[in-house]
Amino acid sequence: MSLILKILSYLCLCAGVRCVHQVSWLPCKFTDEHVFMNEGLTETQHIHREAMLQFGQAGDAPVNPRAITFLITGSKLDLRRFVEDAEAEQLECELRRYSTEGIYVRWPFKGGQEYNRWFSCILKHAKFAVTGFLRQPSDEPPPGQQDYRSWPAIADGETLTTSVSMVIKTQSPSVRAGLGSQQKLHCQFAVDHKAPNVTVEWHRQNRGERTTLFSYNGRTGQSKGSGVGQRSLAGGDASYSLPFTKMANEGTYICSVSVIPLFVSLDISFHIEEPPRVSLNTGTALSLQEGGEQKVSCDAEGYYPLDVEIVWYVQDAADAAAAGRRVGAPLPKELQNVLLSSHKHNQDNTYSLTAFFYLEASLKDSGKQYTCSVSHRSLRMPIRKSFILTVEERSSWMSNLVFGFGVMLVVVLLMLLLRYLHSARRQAVHKKPY
């Protein structure tokens, strides 16, 4: 019985991390470099080569013998655990050489050679981005500061045995937030040895201006700026907090982590998206007399960024009510006589716009529904505001005149009749002999 329970527990554990253990290899694009001098200038030729990122043990056979295989062997860091929420086919993998620019520091690890060759591995997903550093032990010392001018050749089909030394990840490569909201820009890192001298920095870049938001020096333990908890840094959490989002917060945020001789940064795009407030000047119903005219406007206020679309539609109210229940209901018709105001730039840097038209009441339009539809990138679905028009028949001045003349004529005739009857009665009284 205990053996069965152990097996079931193992299966449940595997199911919980199924994506981690399913990823045993990934096809990658290896961007190789050929650096050369051309008329006194340094030029770099990028060569795209077929490669495989393979997880296993030293000496494992390559999955694709024709490709360059980066064989990742066991270390304290498992790169797969940073992508455990994604399937292999959802990942975009890119490998590059990494230059230490002449900086040599013995990487603390047990056994192995004195020197290392470095590669960066970039894994991208719609929901996160990961950069890992792969270390390949070597007996040959680095060539110097301009090591990129004499990269060791890598043959097609060659297997490079590496291990993961450092990883940085963000779960928010692109953030869209509304004004006044609280946001946390995720950035975490991990290193394969204890107590590294880590330097963490946050910058914001906007319209060509670069601003330092936070910096931490692990050697001195000192930090400048705010937004990152120093206690969380000890656990590899370098996330940056925005307690109250303002328009000035928009831009590209850069989380950088340095452990000599490695330096890596991740860009996080931060966009402000404020949805519009939509209103009509008519309410939900509008009543006009036939031939009357009224300006009907739809206001979209307080939105950001600038692009917004306002469209007016008209259709029978009965068709509008049946649109969600009956297949083949007539579609609303877009109004063509709509005018737009100029964009108003508000004090909080949001925008406002009005779409209006002049409605001339006609009996044939009575009972129709007019709908204003506002679309904006901050909205999943357009905002719609509607009103139903009621047109009342307007009586003409001629009919009113005829009716009034007829009433007066009846009154005059009644008065003459009463006078005649009164006179006839008096004459009858005088003719009596008694």
* pLDDT tens digits for range 322-333: 665 555 567 889
Q: What is the pLDDT of residue 14?
A: 39
* Domain boundaries along the sequence of the chain: 23-166, 171-272, 277-392
The conformation of residue 155, written as its DSSP 8-state character, comes to -
**What is the edge-to-edge ordering of all strands in the sheet holding 222-225?**
174-177, 262-272, 251-259, 199-206, 209-217, 222-225
- Write the DSSP assignment of 159-176 as a string of letters: EEEEEEEEEEEES-SEEE
Q: Which CATH superfamily is domain 171-272 in?
A: Immunoglobulins (2.60.40.10)
What value does the mean pLDDT take over residues 203-219? 93
pLDDT tens track for 273-284 = 999 999 999 989
Alpha carbon distance 378, 300 (integer Å): 13
**CATH of region 23-166, choose from 2.60.40, 2.60.120, 1.10.3470, 2.30.29:** 2.60.40
Listed residue (154, 25, 175, 161) closest to 97, CA to CA:
154
Query: Does residue 49 sit in helix, strand or coil?
Result: strand
Q: What is the pLDDT of residue 299?
A: 97
CATH number of 277-392: 2.60.40.10
Alpha carbon distance 296, 197 (integer Å): 66
Q: What are phi and psi of 365, to 5 degrees?
A: -95, -5
**pTM here?**
0.78
C-alpha count within 13 angstroms, C-beta hemisphere, residue 94: 14
Asked whether this chain's domains 23-166 and 171-272 adopt the same fold, the reply is: yes
pLDDT band with cut points at 50, 70 and 90 for residue 9: very low
Alpha carbon distance 117, 120 (integer Å): 11
Alpha carbon distance 108, 114 (integer Å): 10
pLDDT cut 90: percent of the chain above it: 62
